Amino acid sequence: MTNYNLPSCCLCSGVQQEWGEKPQHLPARPLLRFCFPVRTNLNLTLLLKASLMELSQMATTHRNGVRQSSSSRAPQRKGQMPLGEEWLKDFLSEMLAVEKGGVKLYEKALRELEHPELEQKLSDFLRQTERHVELCTEMLEAAAGDPNYQSPGAEAADHKAEGLLSTQVPAELTDLNNVENLVLAETKDHWDWDMLASVAPKIAEPELKRMASKAIREVRKQEQAHLNWNEQTLTKLAMEMATQPPERETAEEAESME
């Protein structure tokens, strides 16, 4: 084999002293093989393989650790945070107050009604709202042990209902105002029952959870129907007002006909 003369350098001199031989040099080979003897190349290869294997093991360990960490956190994400008992008690109290206010608003609308064609629906919705009061009372009693408990949200709902009930309008706006009040009340009612449906699966107490689920199945479609009908009726009454000629013009027309 042809021997090549190497330039004098510390690295090559150290290799020659260590192995007692001149390093083999193959110009067409990579730099590592150009600078070191065969045995050194073999050792470096083994060292690189060992390092790569170690890095691979570290990466695998890291991935496994991430999987284990994710799996250990999964039950917490699935179950999420438990539902606060105090929050649920306060929310049911507020729902009850809103339903009671709805009963009063339907009673007022029927008492002052100027459009007899609306009486049947208003009466049906009143009966259903009274049933909603019963359901909310039962749930509140199960959650708080006291159906007369009133949360701050319930007190606020009472004040809002009283404000709607005490509003005074001209006679020609009576039905329009009463139905508008019902739209406001039913919007809140509808949201309340949707919210209860969202949190019901998190209720810890089994009997209360069963009661809430049953009530939701009975009420949600009714609440949607209440809201839709009142909104449509409000639009109808408003259009009636918009297309009705002023009383002065009507009186002038009557006089001209005489």
Degrees, nearest 5: CA angle 224-229-235: 130
Higher pLDDT, 199 or 22: 199
Q: Is the pTM of this model over 0.75?
A: no
Q: Which residues of 180-200 are buried (b: 16+ CB within 10 A; e: fewer)?
A: bbbbebbebbbebbeebbeeb
List Cβ neighbours of 23 (8 Å cut-off, separation of 6 or more): 6, 12, 15, 16, 35, 36, 37, 40
22-68 pLDDT, tens per residue? 445 444 444 444 444 445 455 555 655 665 566 566 656 555 554 54
DSSP 97-129: HHHHHHHHHHHHHHHT-S-GGGHHHHHHHHHHH
Q: What does DSSP assign to residue 168? A: -
The pLDDT assigned to 38 comes to: 45
The pLDDT assigned to 185 comes to: 97
99-120 pLDDT, tens per residue? 999 999 999 999 999 999 999 9
200-246 pLDDT, tens per residue? 999 999 999 999 999 999 999 999 999 999 999 999 999 999 998 77
The pLDDT assigned to 47 comes to: 58
Instruction: Indicate the pLDDT class of residue 69, thresholds 50, 70 and 90.
Output: very low
